[in-house]
């Protein structure tokens, strides 16, 4: 299956079958990544797999996940990285690459926020690595094929739910039959030459980026906040990311930038359009609004 189709079908899985994954299959997928071709060169990334999901749930629920609420899964993985420049972008990129490959094999996954609990989680799990924990990944076979939880997807509406007291400020217990959670339209996330300069659908289509942006929007993000904006210029397309808000960890936005870069690049390449991300987290000549940061430019 081409990756575009995988991007379309992937969703964060929060309900799993009570059936164990095949460890060899999981590790073969993880090890099939060419780490020399990561987004940022020379940054080591690690994936530690835990088969005893019940135990992990017992000891980490209350510590990690939105408001400390961990999703129950039959397996988990801990994602770690060297703390070198660009490591959060790189971790989002590599972690999501693995998640897409899992989705291709019908293995469900969900990113779990760890934030500043790195030391605490290492201590609980007995991890001695010097690398930084980027996040957890819940793993297993999805319980439902199309039933999609709308949990957390109401943040965009500013919807407050009665489940707030339980630590789920944005929970919505209804389930949607739609294949993916709510997404902004392409017209909402793309500008021409400068921030705020909207483009019509026809203009975006003419630019050649329409299809890639359509698929890119399907990327996962913290609380489904979809922090990405793109600026189309003659020299390429620039990614801006909205900074993390108080409720998220500061790390989140850079992880999301890496995820966005992966989705965009995979979509472009699948559509037969070459190019790569350059100048990641570098300097830019465009005016970046205060609540955004520059991620990089995608060009030939």
The answer to the question of residue 227 lying near ligand FMN (CB under 6 A) is: no
Q: Provide the minimum distance between the beta carbon of 235 and ligand FMN in the complex, in angstroms, as a whole number.
A: 29
Q: Quick one: which segment of 30-38, 167-175, 218-226, 289-297 binds ligand FMN (CB under 6 A)?
A: 218-226
Nearest partner of 278 among 242, 228, 237, 243, judged by Cα:
237
* Nearer CB in complex with ligand FMN: 66/298: 66
The answer to the question of residue 66 lying near ligand FMN (CB under 6 A) is: yes
**Structure tokens belonging to residue 136:** 């957890």
* Nearer CB in complex with ligand FMN: 90/224: 224
The answer to the question of residue 65 lying near ligand FMN (CB under 6 A) is: yes
Residue nearest to ligand FMN (CB): 220
Q: Provide the minimum distance between the beta carbon of 283 and ligand FMN in the complex, in angstroms, as a whole number.
A: 26
Q: Exactly one of 74, 223, 258, 295 binds ligand FMN (CB under 6 A); which one?
A: 223
Binding-site string for ligand FMN from residue 83 to residue 122, where x marks contact by CB under 6 A and - marks none:
---------------------------xxxx---------
**Structure tokens belonging to residue 92:** 């989002």
Q: Provide the minimum distance between the beta carbon of 219 and ligand FMN in the complex, in angstroms, as a whole number.
A: 8
- Is the separation of the CB atoms in 296 and 277 below 8 Å? yes
Determine the Cα–Cα distance for residues 151 and 131; give it in Å rounded to an integer: 31
Restricting to residues 136-165, name those near ligand FMN by CB under 6 A: 152-153
Q: Which residue, chain included where needed, has tokens 């500061």?
A: 250
CA dihedral 185, 187, 190, 194 (to 10 degrees): -150
CB-CB neighbours of 138 under 10 Å = 25
Q: Which residues pair with 296 in a beta bridge?
A: 239
Determine the Cα–Cα distance for residues 229 and 235; give it in Å rounded to an integer: 17
Q: Provide the minimum distance between the beta carbon of 181 and ligand FMN in the complex, in angstroms, as a whole number.
A: 4
Q: Provide the minimum distance between the beta carbon of 136 and ligand FMN in the complex, in angstroms, as a whole number.
A: 8
The answer to the question of residue 63 lying near ligand FMN (CB under 6 A) is: no
The answer to the question of residue 255 lying near ligand FMN (CB under 6 A) is: yes
Nearest partner of 35 among 102, 119, 97, judged by Cα:
97
- Is the separation of the CB atoms in 293 and 30 below 8 Å? no
* Nearer CB in complex with ligand FMN: 224/236: 224
* Nearer CB in complex with ligand FMN: 169/223: 223
Q: Exactly one of 221, 268, 293, 297 binds ligand FMN (CB under 6 A); which one?
A: 221
Q: Provide the minimum distance between the beta carbon of 13 and ligand FMN in the complex, in angstroms, as a whole number.
A: 8
In the chain, alpha helices (H): 3-9, 23-31, 53-60, 87-104, 118-125, 186-189, 201-207, 210-216, 251-270
Nearest partner of 141 among 180, 102, 100, 94, judged by Cα:
102
**Structure tokens belonging to residue 270:** 């699948």
In 194-250, alpha helices (H): 201-207, 210-216
Please give the size of the binding site for ligand FMN, defined by CB under 6 A: 24
Q: Under the rule (CB under 6 A), what is the footprint of ligand FMN?
A: 11-12, 14, 65-66, 71, 110-113, 135, 152-153, 180-181, 220-224, 252, 255-256, 259
């Amino acid at each position: 299956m081409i990756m575009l189709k995988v991007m379309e079908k992937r969703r964060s899985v929060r309900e799993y079958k009570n059936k164990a994954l095949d460890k060899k299959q999981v590790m073969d997928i993880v090890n099939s990544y060419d780490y020399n071709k990561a987004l940022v060169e020379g940054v080591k990334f690690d994936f530690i797999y835990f088969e005893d999901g019940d135990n992990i749930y017992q000891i980490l629920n209350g510590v990690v996940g939105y408001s400390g609420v961990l999703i129950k899964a039959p397996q988990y993985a801990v994602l770690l990285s060297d703390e070198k420049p660009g490591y959060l972008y790189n971790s989002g990129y590599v972690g999501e690459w693995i998640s897409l490959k899992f989705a291709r094999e019908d293995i469900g996954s969900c990113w779990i926020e760890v934030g500043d609990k790195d030391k605490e989680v290492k201590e609980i799990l007995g991890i001695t690595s010097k690398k930084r924990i980027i996040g957890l990944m819940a793993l297993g076979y999805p319980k439902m094929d199309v039933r999609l939880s709308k949990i957390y997807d109401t943040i965009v509406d500013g919807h407050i739910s009665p489940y707030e007291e339980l630590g789920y400020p944005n929970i919505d217990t209804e389930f949607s039959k739609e294949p993916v959670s709510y997404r902004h339209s392409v017209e909402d996330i793309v500008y021409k030459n400068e921030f705020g300069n909207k483009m019509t659908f026809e203009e975006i289509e003419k630019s050649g980026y329409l299809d890639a942006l359509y698929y890119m929007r399907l990327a996962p993000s913290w609380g489904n906040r979809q922090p990405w904006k793109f600026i189309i210029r003659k020299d390429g397309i620039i990614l801006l990311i909205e900074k993390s808000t108080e409720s998220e960890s500061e790390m989140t936005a850079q992880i999301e930038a890496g995820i966005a870069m992966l989705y965009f690049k995979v979509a472009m390449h699948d559509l037969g359009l070459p190019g790569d991300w350059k100048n990641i987290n570098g300097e830019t000549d465009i005016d970046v609004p205060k609540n955004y940061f520059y991620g990089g430019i995608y060009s030939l």
